[in-house]
Copies of this chain bind each other. A is one copy, B any other.
Amino acid sequence: MRKNFGAKPWTYPQPVFIIATYGEDGTPDAMNAAWGGISDDTQISMCLSAEHKTVANILARGAFTVSMADAAHVAECDYVGIESANKVPNKLAKAGFHTEKAEHVDAPIIVELPMSVECRLISYDEETCRLVGEIVNVSADEKILDENGKIDPVPPGGCHRDFQYFKRGEKI
């Protein structure tokens, strides 16, 4: 037997993307987003409503980075999702994160998160809230690389949302 729930935005796993940008005065900012993903070989798409400070920053600077939350930083990642930079301009620092400038785009990389995707803005549609970015580089901390220099997601422990936060489990 199946139970019907009506029209709901429910799929899983949902990613825990941490989108980092610079504000007009250079203050690094970050938000937490679940509605998005890869949309082409070198393209990422996300649905972000226009009132986010992140969206204003991306439109002004034309760039952003996307990191993925890991289980070790779920509290910090959740905080940047709950708090708004429109109210707490230094919320990224308040979360305990540190940043350095990305090598390829005008946006910050969050040092504590081990992988980041550097993106240039392709388009933003205020009506549909769809933001499309060109991926220009992926970088990963050497602590998540295996002996061949490839990204090995097993040791560091990712996390994701299936309605709640979960750690990554065993490899199948």
Contacts and interface: CB of A to CB of B under 8 A. Distances in A.
A145 B165 CA distance: 18
A155 B41 CA distance: 34
Contacts of A162: 153, 158, 168
Interface residues of A, number: 68
Contacts of A43: 9
A11 B42 contact: no
Interface string A112-152: 00010100000000001110001111111110010001010
A62 to B, nearest CB: 16
A93 interface: no
Interface in A77-133: 103, 109, 115, 117, 128-130
B172 A12 contact: no
A10 B112 CA distance: 18
A64 to B, nearest CB: 13
Interface of A: 1-15, 17, 34-45, 47, 66, 68, 71, 74, 103, 109, 115, 117, 128-130, 134-142, 145, 149, 151, 153, 157-160, 162-172
12 contacts: A3-B140, A5-B139, A5-B151, A8-B42, A10-B38, A11-B117, A13-B168, A38-B47, A71-B172, A153-B166, A165-B172, A167-B170
Nearest first, the 5 closest Cβ-Cβ pairs linking A and B are A169-B169, A167-B169, A153-B162, A165-B172, A2-B139
